[in-house]
Amino acid sequence: MADDIRPLPQPGILDIAAYVPGKAGAAGSHAVKLSANESPLGASPKAVAAFRAASEHLEIYPEGSSNLLRTALSDVHGVAAERIVCGNGSGDLLHLLAQCYLGEGDEAVMNRYGFSVYPIITKAAGASIVMVEETDYTADVDLLLAAVTPKTKIVWLANPNNPTGTYLSDAEVRRLHAGLRPDILLVIDSAYAEYVTAADYSVGLDLATQASNVVMVRTLSKMGLAAARVGWMVGPAAVIDAINRIRGPFNVNLPGQLAGAAAVRDTEFTARLKAHNAQWRDWITQELDSNHMHVVPSQGNFVMVLFPDAEHAQLAFDTLMERGLVVREIGNSYGIPHGLRISIGSEQAMRGVVGILKALVQIA
């Protein structure tokens, strides 16, 4: 029997490059991880307690619709629980959206330096991704609209965007939506919503509750619960219905549901994280932005630092790594080889990064 006959994935699957997560330090090292936009203040103590309590019930299937978590989200964000679906991280929901609304011959549009998960899930659904140029590392509404064709089914927009930290104002997002045909789904991925301080920003909840072709996707990963894998989404009843038909029947585990609900209700902790982030994001931006390094103004819990060239970025990455500070390279996965993405960490970590990079510039 020919042994080259074997199960084959669908066409295109093997052309997809797997997502590259931010590096961690060497096992057992005391490296500080600034490569995955995690919370520098841990998780809400109330979420930790809820997670522990879940350990008493590990033999029981969780309630399948994440009702308890959706109720907490409904209470805190003022949106009907029926219009919410929860997921095993927001990555779960993004995959489901692609599976539901994209197929062979379809196109999804995204900005060039948008989140690197979008091309993966688009191609996994058999569709093609259309990459659109940006202006100053920011999504450009006119260019996005110009890229729409009769085949377009989804527009992916991370707002604020990862890895650039840039954002579109509420008015710009509405202009984008107004320019799309009603059969095109606009996915607003507000993964960093809690960290935004810009007054003209909107998380997208109004559009997601009022329009028939907009969803807003959120996550608790950047708010201290990355390990628990909790995401959520708000959208039109018809989209919520479609997702509920195909999602895993128990897609959010019990510890995730309980910890997630406690974290959502702990608005004091959320405010503390936001205040810490704003303080040190402003500080590192001011300290590093100079003739030698450009810090792109960020609304997330990270900054993108641009160096004169890829060699300088590599030198900075290696030097930080040697000193136990692990940041995110964005050459291969994002096509920005002269940039590094640095998560906002503790005061000590931020002072460490700034000290090392300033010293490097003086000797370079």
d(CA 109, CA 117): 13
The structure tokens listed for 313 are 């970025």
Q: Which stretch binds ligand PLP (CB under 6 A): 217-225, 248-256, 290-298, 337-345?
A: 217-225
Nearer to ligand PLP, 39 or 65 (CB): 39
Q: Smallest distance from the beta carbon of 283 to ligand PLP, in angstroms?
A: 22
* Distance of alpha carbon 160 from alpha carbon 299, whole angstroms: 6
Distance from C-alpha of 357 to C-alpha of 321, rounded to nearest angstrom: 12
The DSSP code for 104 is T
- Pick the piece of the chain touching ligand PLP (CB under 6 A) from 4-12, 220-228, 265-273, 320-328: 220-228
Give, as ranges, the residues between 72 and 91 that touch ligand PLP (CB under 6 A): 89-91
Phi-psi map region of 252: left, alpha, beta (phi>0 left; psi -120 to 50 alpha): beta
End-to-end CA distance of the chain: give it in Å, rounded. 62
Shortest Cβ 308–ligand PLP spacing (Å) = 27
Among positions 69, 96, 185, 191, the unique one binding ligand PLP when judged by CB under 6 A? 191
Helix then strand then coil, in percent of the chain rounded to 5, is: 40, 15, 40
Q: List the interface residues with ligand PLP, window 224-243 (CB under 6 A).
A: 226, 231
Residue closest to ligand PLP (Cβ)? 89
CB of residue 272 vs ligand PLP: minimum separation in angstroms? 20
Residue 37 contacts residue 273 (beta carbons within 8 Å): no
- Token readout for 218 is 């959120």
Rank residues 177 and 222 by Cβ distance to ligand PLP and give the closer one.
Answer: 222
CA–CA distance, 101 with 76 (Å, rounded to integer): 29
Single out the residue of 122, 138, 162, 270 in contact with ligand PLP (rule: CB under 6 A). Answer: 162
Sign of CA dihedral 332, 333, 338, 343: negative
Residue nearer to ligand PLP on the CB measure, 115 or 201: 115
**Residue 362, CA distances (Å) to 4, 8, 38, 317, 354 in order:** 58, 54, 30, 16, 13
User: Total binding residues for ligand PLP by CB under 6 A?
Assistant: 13
Residue 211 binds to ligand PLP (criterion: CB under 6 A): no
**Does 189 contact ligand PLP by CB under 6 A?**
yes
State in angstroms the smallest separation of the CB of 293 from ligand PLP.
23
CA distances from 65 to 61, 73, 189, 217, 324 (A): 11, 13, 21, 17, 42
Pick between residue 269 and residue 312 the one whose CB is nearest to ligand PLP. 269
115 is an interface residue for ligand PLP by CB under 6 A: yes
| 158 binds ligand PLP, rule: CB under 6 A | yes
Shortest spacing between CB 48 and ligand PLP, in angstroms: 18
Q: Note the residues at the interface with ligand PLP (CB under 6 A).
A: 89-91, 115, 158, 162, 189, 191, 219, 221-222, 226, 231
